[in-house]
Chain A
Amino acid sequence: MKKTFTMLAAAAIAATTAAPALADLVVPNLSYRTGPFAAGGIPYADGFNDYFTLLNERDGGIGGEKVVVPECETAYNTEKGVECYEATKGQGALVYNPLSTGITYQLIPKVSADGIPLYTPGYGRTSAANGKIFQWVFNYPANYWDGASVAIKHLLDQNGGNLEGKKIALLYHNSAYGKEPIRTLQELSKKHGFTLSEIPIDSPGQEQKSQWLQVRRDKPDYVLFWGWGVMNSVAVQEAANIRFPMENFIGIWWSGSENDVLPAGDGANGYKALTFNGVGGDYPVYADLKKYVFDAGKASGAGDQSGSVIYSRGMYAAVIISEAIRKAQELAGTPKVNAAQVRDGFEALEITDARLEELGLKGFGQAFAASCGDHGGAGGAMVQQWDAAAKKWNLISGFIEPDHEVLDPLVAEDSAAFAAENNIAERCN
């Protein structure tokens, strides 16, 4: 027992020395640079950090206040995620973006009790789009159900608007993340008359032989894919091995980065994935990033991720968060905003095409305006296709709008279930 005590005492000393200054805007980065999901976690964290570094170096922060981004390693593990949340919330955290649907589910009740906004762009609990129930959670510009619907719409386009009798398989990470789209796809299969088969892959997904054997046996016309981390590259490789037509293999936005397709070489040519942000390094903001961050030696991590798909998505999250903080400062009339004011900023946030152009990100994301009831944004996504010869993702569509007619009742139903479980009254009425 003495040993326990000495360890506790040492931990106490360490914890007290770790507290930073409280004056700045604190945006914790719960990242994962280790473990089976690091392939996605590293570029995302780098993009997130680098954009805030750019704001600090170029503009002196947001509204004159420097942004501090304490990083905490979660390894995509919910226990470590909770620890990171508790460790950073005392530093005056303004918003959380954990890049993990599992951690998001844990944090939704916690942030609601602690009054800190949670921003989960393109992941997390889909029904959080309903701001009437989820006061503290925002998931614009798009969520998984939007993604599922956009993928089906893309397939409808390719088949002249008719998917009757087609077989579509959903290959998914067997977790909250991978299970999210199932309900939507089931509804859509009823509406459009395709048959849906669900094939789970257990985390981390390094072994998928049996799943692909099932794909070979069932011969689905299309495979939709909800993967993340190491399982993405394995799936692309396996699809190439069984000579599945790659243009009929469509990943969600988390399954469409360079890391996922490069290992399969030419076999990955034609693989498609969704994206809710622009890809590639052609946006003017990259010139500023190069000047103020990369050339100044202040890049996060190894500094080799600039312009990659996941990097730009991490940057996009940082852009939205910084815009929300700016909005909050405007609403509150002071640059020193607190978490509750930032929440108001998120709720009043309007991203216009003109504003994106000012930020050097013309056409990078969709314009949207949040409101008290709408925390989900427009929900559009683009389809990108991998060109193995050029080693480049090409956008092959504009923003495709999801099928709100199917999604809105589902969101209402799921959020009502959450409200009933937790005795939450509807706001905004």
Chain B
Amino acid sequence: MLYREAGDFKTSYVKDSQTFPIKADRMAYFALLAVAFGVVPFLINDYWANAVFVPFLIYAIAAIGLNILTGYCGQVSLGTGGFMAVGAYAVYKLMTTFPDVPILIHVLLAGGVTAIVGVLFGLPSLRIKGFYLAVATLAAQFFLVWLFNKVPWFYNYSASGQITAPERTMFGIAVTGASTPAWAKYLFCLVILVALAWLARNLTRGMTGRKWMAIRDMDIAAEIIGVNPLTTKLSAFAVSSFFIGVSGALFFAVYLGAAEVGEAFGINKSFLILFMVIIGGLGSMFGSFAGAAFLVLLPVLLKNVLVGGLGWPTDLAAHIELMIVGGLIIVFLILEPHGLAQLWRVAKEKLRLWPFPH
């Protein structure tokens, strides 16, 4: 009744193919952007920035990146953590070598470096598929972590092998380092996320994205109709790694401030982001956000409810939290194997017909 297409007339092709064809969706989208840019920065404090918003925004970037590769192009990757580490170490080396350049440029350059590394590790995808590719990317994960642990040049020969983000600014305001205001962290990540999500959305519905999906659906058929598997697969690896590299750079420089490669970018991180994509929905922009929100916010929420709200012992709460999150993952995958994005799609279909479904 309220959520419907009726009365929303499209008079041009551009309007016909827009991202949010339904007016209510468009309004909600712009309202969300307005709140995210206009309201949240004024209310945000350190806790909300560091425990909720910044990790959510950064993981959303990583999830979009992996979704491009796995969801849109069908190439399974277990190397996400390693690629995030490339982004983090690239931004660290850039930050410390060129301290006067604005941090945004470093973050984007770090994404570029990761894209190159991603293409290198994507080369085997031309020959191998499926599980075998997963194993090849797993090798990338272990190799990259080992490399950053082994070669002291990457961590500037610090005694402990830790990398620590020095203070760097954007328009004179600290964005990295300890004295960064919460709103600056949040806005910096938000601007990058919105720009990258916009880019990804438009890539995936244009020719590039259609080629990726053709390869995903059936690579031989795609090749016959004229899709070049070399450029298509490698472009997916490049774009995906760029996103993941940017998220790794932000994860280290803005969110953590100091990182240790084995702990921050280990195999667990690869799995976490893969689960975000699977639970959110493969091949869906909204799914990337929903998956990141589910796996980042739910544990924080549960912890606050169980320990803060109900006063349970922290160990019991931590164990129960694992069980609840794990249980919910199974429930979601049984009820809706296509992820939260599909649930949302079904809900929207129902809403369009409500309250007269017949």
- Mark A residues whose CB is within 8 Å of B: 1-4, 7-8, 10-11, 14-15, 17-18, 31, 33-34, 38, 42, 71-73, 75, 77-79, 82-83, 86-87, 89-90, 101-102, 105-106, 108-110, 112-114, 125-127, 174-177, 179-180, 182-183, 200, 202-203, 301, 414, 417, 421-422
Contacts and interface: CB of A to CB of B under 8 A. Distances in A.
B298 A7 contact: yes
A90 B47 contact: yes
Nearest to B51: A83
A78 B263 contact: yes
7 contacts: A11-B301, A15-B47, A34-B319, A72-B307, A105-B258, A109-B177, A175-B262
B318 interface: yes
A102 to B, nearest CB: 6
Given A86-B46, A90-B47, A179-B161, A34 B263 contact: no
Contacts of B32: 1
What 5 pairs across the A-B complex have the smallest Cβ distances?
A18-B308, A33-B315, A109-B178, A14-B304, A113-B178
Given A175-B161, A182-B159, 10 more contacts: A14-B305, A18-B308, A33-B314, A73-B303, A78-B256, A82-B256, A113-B178, A127-B159, A174-B262, A203-B266
Given A4-B289, A87-B51, A109-B257, A14 B309 contact: yes
Q: Which of A7, A114, A177, A301 has the most CB of B within 10 A?
A: A7
Interface stretch (B108-116, B162-170, B232-240): B162-170
A3 B51 contact: no
B23 to A, nearest CB: 16
A1 B51 CA distance: 19
Contacts of A18: 304, 307-309
B133 interface: no
Main secondary structure on A side of the interface with B: helix
Nearest to B54: A82
Nearest to B35: A5
Interface of B: 28-29, 32, 45-48, 50-52, 55, 149, 158-162, 164, 166-167, 177-179, 255-260, 262-264, 266, 286, 289-290, 293, 297-298, 300-301, 303-305, 307-309, 313-315, 317-319, 340, 344
A316 to B, nearest CB: 22
Contacts of B301: 7, 10-11, 14
Contacts of B264: 78-79
A49 to B, nearest CB: 11
Nearest to A12: B48
